[in-house]
Amino acid sequence: QVRLVESGGGLVQPGGSLILSCTASGIRFTINSMGWYRLAPGKQRDLVATITGGGVTNYADSVKGRSTISRDNAKNTVYLRMNSLRPEDTAVYYCNVQTRFGESWGQGTQVTVSS
């Protein structure tokens, strides 16, 4: 059974930084892509960033330039560092893992940006 464990969310002041991490276990096949999505109140779940096994990254325009996604393939772990956080970054952040047979989602971790 696939399990994604996320950590690193919490309350951050505007302008601050945080690092989210997600470790996947129970995956029997090669992970093609790992990434982060977020769901803000009243909005749909949107892409934040993804990274392939070869290290190709993709970022939403809203976080580009102030976020970095990385992964440790040996640990099946993906990281998301976000700088210069804004109140509009407040959301539940979900880890996503894709293999050729489908995708899995984490339970979500709350990030709140507020003074």
| Average predicted confidence (pLDDT) for the chain | 95
With a cut of 90, say whether residue 104 has pLDDT above it: yes
User: What values do phi and psi take at 73, rounded to 5?
Assistant: -65, -35
Confidence of residue 101 (pLDDT cuts 50, 70, 90): confident
Say which residue, 63 or 101, is predicted with more confidence.
63
Looking at 46-50, 58-62, 79-83, 101-105, which range is the least confident one?
A: 101-105
CA 8/CA 55 separation, integer angstroms: 22
Nearest to 17 by CA among 63, 91, 85: 85
With a cut of 90, say whether residue 2 has pLDDT above it: no
CB 82, CB 70: distance < 8 Å: no
Mean pLDDT of 27-52: 93
